[in-house]
Amino acid sequence: MAVLTAISYIYISSQTIMKSAHQKMKHFVCVACLFAIIHMNANAEQIDIMDLSLEELMQVRVISATKRDEEQMEAPLSISVITRKEIIQAGASSWGDALRLLPGTLVREQSAGNYDIHIRGFDNIPPNSLLPFLANSLTLVMIDNRIVYNYFAGGTFWETLPISLLDVDRIELVRGPASPLYGPNAVSGVIHIITRHAKSEGFRFNGRAEAGENNTNSAALWIQYESSHWSWLTSANYQQRDRKDSQYFSLVEERYINDALDLVEFDTQLPSPLNNRRFPDQSLARELKGINTTLLFKPENSWHYEMRLGHQDSKAQTAYFENGVTPLNTTVSNSTYLDLVAQHQSFKAQVSVLDGEQEALGIAGWQWQFDTLDAQFEYQYQVTDNFLLRPALSYRNASYDGIFIQGEKHLITNAASVHADFRPAESWRIIGAVRADQYHTPDTTETSSQLAINYYPNQQLHWRFSMGRSHRAPFILDIFQNTAFTTPTGLLFELKGNQELDPLVSKSAEIGVRYKISSKALFEAEFFYAKNKNYSDVQLNFVGNDGNFFRTSGQYENLPLQTSMNGVTLSHSQSLSEQTYFRGFVTFVENQIDNHIQPPETPITSLPDINLIDLDSQATPNYYGGFLLNHTQGNWNYNWNFYFYDDHRMSHVIVENDIASKVIANFKLTHRISNTIDIYLNIRNIENSQENEFLFTDKVDRQITLGFDIDT
């Protein structure tokens, strides 16, 4: 009876909230928190998935620091991990939500469920540029060692990932450059999503559904079967989230308007005839569908085979593609992947293919097909008991076909690397790595290198120092772009790529310490410095009258700009009792930009003079971080998690936006009604802080949902 009363209480209260005014929402939040505190004092027995102690978290093993399974305490690089249980307990409903639980991640929401995600900093560089330069192109994202980085203009289209959080076993975050180990684009770090494997013989089912305000609906299922030599897994997911309202910021009028159809073009000052095409559903923030299958085969010999296959369809309003009227634009995508792995003792081969198409609606020429082939071969050679070598070869062919590049173009890369792991004494460990990437376009070979020295005076303390050089691969857009378009008022714009661009290079150094204060407490600090050069952007080479048009022509060029970043990330985990643990983390960072080309203050009618200036980068907050408190009492779990950042300024080629400091508070209440079924109440952004988090994008609203989880 008590269980039914609790379920009824949550359901009726939530229904009241969804239909009530703002004041009643505040009242419910207070009641829910009071309800949670009261139940904390109840005496009941902890069970299974509800029981997650800090001691368990401190024993989590990682693979992303060296590609070897090892304890997190032993890892030679800055690395953090968030487990499946923590993600569930915290109520994360998107990749951005989950990554806000990890130190060193800067996460800002553009529209409901769509996020801009950086590691440490280096965002919005160069400033005063187009939208793609606000996106993160310096972080490598992988799923089970399969790269999901996009080569259109760099970065990750998070809405196009075929898996959901239900598929995740853990997410490992490597902070700092890792190109020698994982290849180009791991300049600021690596986000490695590791999916679940079959855990027990026979069939097993896991399903989750959640629904709430603003037409928020999500459902996912995961099915496994395992026998002695093989296992099979299938998952499917669906998510739809609507925006709070249909407001858009007009880049021309510099104000929010209530209907996208009223967005005007800068030259005619009239509504764009393409607005209908760009925004077919103004209320929709994202709609995602995905399906995945995994087969694992372990014959009686020492071979191990894996095959993963999946497909996704997505539609989302994000701030990435430039339409000239507002930062948001609708993007549609569908893609299919195949990932094959064969492993025999110390040898491993992985070949993956990603094929699909993508379109930024209503932007002339921005529709393309893509096909990416990645192949990696590595061998782990144990030279002596304390010396290991891992040579590796890799090949990549990223093919894009679209009007904006005048047909099909390829980015082909061949690479060779070697990774060494040496323990000259029990308390010392030295990691060295070097990698050479040979690019067909531009015709150049770039090297990446890394040295990490680790000292373990005892089992509780770990000091580390690392330094290295990483680089970012060239992109389709800045290498091959060849577009021209005119306006009704006689303006002609031409943009061309440059096949001679030098890749971006980053040099870095870091000092870190991990201190296991006790079996119930862990402290970590990392001090980092990095300097980047060889950024590129469109530089004008002609501005003036040309026959019947006023022509503006530009080409991608390397910039004189250099940028440096220094900072510190602190994190602390503490078990407060057998039922309660706390985790907190904060990053302090400074970015400096030198030799930035000062943008003209007025509309240009001829080629502008080039003036170089130095400035502090204002796009990265001076500090950001988060903390969480989790308490389990019998069949109830209570999780409070918070994310915060300092005020900062994002700059676009047309406008600048002062982003206010913000604290985002979330709460999830979970009740286990049987050994296999959980029900929960999930409140995101409790305080209903409605400031926009990204350049003139949506004002984020509170989100209240109800859900259930079945795990057999």
Residue 318 has pLDDT above 60, yes or no: yes
Answer yes or no: are the C-beta atoms of 638 and 40 closer than 8 Å.
yes
397-435 pLDDT, tens digit per residue, is 999 999 999 999 999 999 999 999 999 999 999 999 999
Which of 45-59, 206-220, 538-552, 594-608 ranks highest by mean pLDDT?
Answer: 206-220
pLDDT of residue 431: 97
Gap between the Cα atoms of 309 and 330, Å rounded: 27
Which residue stretches of 252-352 are H helix? 275-278
Task: Please name the amino acid found at residue 640.
Answer: W
Of 700, 712, 636, the residue nearest 668 (C-alpha): 636
DSSP assignment of 197-228: ---SSEEEEEEEEEEETTTEEEEEEEEEEE-S
426-473 pLDDT, tens digit per residue, is 999 999 999 999 999 999 999 999 999 999 999 999 999 999 999 998
Gap between the Cα atoms of 671 and 10, Å rounded: 10
pLDDT of residue 367: 93
> For the chain, what are the domain ranges?
42-711
Distance separating the N- and C-terminal Cα atoms of the chain: 24
Q: Using the 8-state DSSP alphabet, how is residue 64 labeled?
A: T
Residue 14 has pLDDT above 80, yes or no: no
pLDDT of residue 52: 55
Span 331-350, average pLDDT: 97
pLDDT of residue 474: 86
Residue 376 has pLDDT above 60, yes or no: yes
113-144 pLDDT, tens digit per residue, is 999 999 998 999 999 888 888 899 999 999 99
Span 156-178, average pLDDT: 96
Of 585, 594, 449, the residue nearest 524 (C-alpha): 585
Span 71-91, average pLDDT: 94
At residue 5 the predicted structure's pLDDT band, cuts being 50, 70 and 90, is: very low
pLDDT of residue 34: 37
Residue 595 has pLDDT above 90, yes or no: yes
Answer yes or no: are the C-beta atoms of 437 and 446 closer than 8 Å.
yes
Residue 35 has pLDDT above 80, yes or no: no
pLDDT of residue 39: 39
pLDDT of residue 75: 92
Span 469-498, average pLDDT: 89
Strand positions, DSSP E, 298-427: 303-318, 329-344, 347-360, 367-379, 381-384, 387-402, 407-425
Gap between the Cα atoms of 657 and 650, Å rounded: 5
Residue 9 has pLDDT above 60, yes or no: no
The dihedral through the CA atoms of 30, 25, 702, 254 has a sign that is negative
Neighbour tally for 86: CB within 10 Å = 24
Answer yes or no: are the C-beta atoms of 480 and 497 closer than 8 Å.
yes
Class of domain 42-711: mainly beta
Q: Is the pTM of this model over 0.85?
A: yes
Span 360-371, average pLDDT: 92
- The token duo for 166 is 């239900």
Residue 8 has pLDDT above 60, yes or no: no
665-703 pLDDT, tens digit per residue, is 999 999 999 999 999 999 999 999 889 999 999 998 899
Helix orientation angle between 22-40 and 2-19, rounded to the nearest 10 degrees: 160
Q: Using the 8-state DSSP alphabet, how is residue 89 labeled?
A: H
Would you call 2 exposed, middle or buried from its count of C-beta atoms within 10 A (0-12, 13-18, 19+)? exposed
For residue 572, what are the CA distances in angstroms to 63, 461, 582?
22, 14, 8
Residue 43 has pLDDT above 70, yes or no: no
pLDDT of residue 11: 34
At residue 58 the predicted structure's pLDDT band, cuts being 50, 70 and 90, is: low
The rounded percent of the chain whose pLDDT value lies above 90 is 75
Q: Strands 491-496 and 549-558, how do they pair?
A: parallel
pLDDT of residue 51: 58
At residue 246 the predicted structure's pLDDT band, cuts being 50, 70 and 90, is: confident
pLDDT of residue 195: 97
Gap between the Cα atoms of 214 and 612, Å rounded: 47
Give, for 493, the enclosing helix (H) or strand (E).
strand 491-496
Residue 510 has pLDDT above 60, yes or no: yes
Report angle CA 13, 15, 18 to the nearest 5 degrees: 110
- The token duo for 443 is 């015709």
Span 145-155, average pLDDT: 92
Of 494, 480, 478, the residue nearest 559 (C-alpha): 478
The dihedral through the CA atoms of 591, 596, 601, 605 has a sign that is negative
> Average per-residue pLDDT in the chain?
90
Residue 630 has pLDDT above 70, yes or no: yes
Residue 31 has pLDDT above 50, yes or no: no
pLDDT of residue 40: 40
Give, for 84, the enclosing helix (H) or strand (E).
helix 84-90
Residue with the bigger pLDDT between 28 and 363: it is 363
